[in-house]
Amino acid sequence: MNDVDLKKINIEDFSYGLPAGRIANYPLPERDTSKLLVYQDGKLKEDRYLHIADYLPEGALLIFNDTRVVEARILFQKPTGGSIEIFCLSPHERYSDITTAMLQKGEVWWNCLIGGASKWKKGMVLQKEVVVSGKEIILNAVFKERREDSFVIELQWSPSELSFAEVLHTMGFIPLPPYIKRKVEESDNERYQTIYAKQDGSVAAPTAGLHFTDRIFSSLREKNIRHDFITLHVGAGTFKPVKSERIADHVMHTEMMEVRRETIENVLGSVGKVYCVGTTSLRTVESLYWMGVKAMTDPSIEPDRLNISQWEVYESLADHVATPRQSLEALLDWMKRNEIDRLVAETQIMIVPGYSFRMIEGLVTNFHQPRSTLLLLVAALIGDHWKEVYRYAVEHDFRFLSYGDGCLLFI
């Protein structure tokens, strides 16, 4: 069971002093030379990512997130000389998943943030033109609808045979996190991606994976440490500050996850030896457990009801008892009956102190912002020891946040 009293969790208890000088504005020249702080059995040890295999058990399974950050920011110049920036957050609900939306040709609808929205008069069509290899590409943006926290924009382009992913790659630029106080540079196109990034769709990198290199993967293979990939497209909500005093009043962002049948089978065969690289991988793997619980409870459940909402693992699902094996077997049986080879679902799961982890033995992650949902997840994993870990990191010159160092935390 998840023994959690949400009313008693106060976000102020998950704050710490983060000096501005500890925030990394650039990555180190070599990915795997970033510092690694290992927490296990109440003890801390300092090392480098290059040696991470030394701390993982033989036969372990590492789960990575292979999402790719898209060039989601597009800057348009108005005929009068002013500029308007469109930040492409997520596809319109008319598309079944992000991959489908990214592959649209000629036009697409997208939920966006608008920088300078007051300058965009109704009926005004924004246009951007670039020339690539002698070929002109034209992108038009049409204002369709204003929503509570975003805008619906129709984007149209020519040549129409280009996919939206190709258009973004040509027209846009990488959206660095808001706490990196500088302009995007050419090097960010490579360094703000993992080396295994594959599936277009994120507006923020799964940063724990930024440290991994071919040298590390080689050392993992030598120790018979296997790896596999899930996809969870990271939304801008990952940077959303917790403004409410009580965590029960915070609205967690929803993200799209995609997991292949073979990966779920791999996790099933590795129960007790599963480690996640990044909080996005962890939230996906734990969500798989609860989706399996739903499939056990209702074998004929419709796909959209597998989605995991913010608090249901502490409420309606809390009293359901299942081992990880039982849960994943039920989920695989459900996929087989429905002839589904790739599970596409949404998760809003919010992991807070008191949560009982079902699927994992440890987590590789960066150092997170004070008062953030990511720090709450870390506290759920290692309890109040998070304070010791973060105090050590601050006092020993570790670099924080997306381009910073990281840690390996064992439950």
What is the pTM for the complete model shown? 0.93
- Please state the domain extents for the chain: 6-68+192-410, 72-172
The hierarchical CATH code for the domain 6-68+192-410 is 3.40.1780.10
Instruction: Tell me the two tokens of residue 105.
Output: 């040709």
pLDDT at 1: 52
Distance in angstroms (rounded) separating the CA atoms of residues 200 and 44: 36
pLDDT at 150: 86
Q: Which residues of 260-281 are buried (b: 16+ CB within 10 A; e: fewer)?
A: eeebbebbbebbebbbbbbbbb
Distance in angstroms (rounded) separating the CA atoms of residues 336 and 261: 9
* pLDDT tens for each residue of the chain, 411 residues long: 577 788 789 999 999 999 999 999 999 999 999 999 999 999 999 999 999 999 999 999 999 999 999 999 999 987 777 889 999 998 999 998 889 999 999 999 999 999 887 888 777 789 999 998 888 999 999 989 888 888 999 999 999 999 999 999 999 999 999 899 999 999 999 999 999 999 999 999 999 999 999 999 999 999 999 999 999 998 877 667 788 888 889 988 889 999 999 999 999 999 999 999 999 999 999 999 999 999 999 999 999 999 999 999 999 999 898 999 999 999 999 999 999 999 999 999 999 999 999 999 999 999 999 999 999 999 999 999 999 999 999 999 999 999 999 999 999
The residue type at 185: E
pLDDT at 36: 98
Place of tokens 């077997």: 329
Starting at the edge strand found earlier in the chain, the sheet holding 226-232 runs: 43-48, 35-40, 406-410, 362-366, 274-277, 61-65, 226-232, 255-260, 342-347
Peptide bond into 159 cis (omega under 30): yes
Angle at 389 between CA 396 and CA 404, to 5 degrees: 60
pLDDT at 371: 94
Instruction: Tell me the two tokens of residue 148.
Output: 């509570």
Number of neighbouring beta carbons within 10 Å of residue 142: 15
Distance in angstroms (rounded) separating the CA atoms of residues 359 and 131: 49
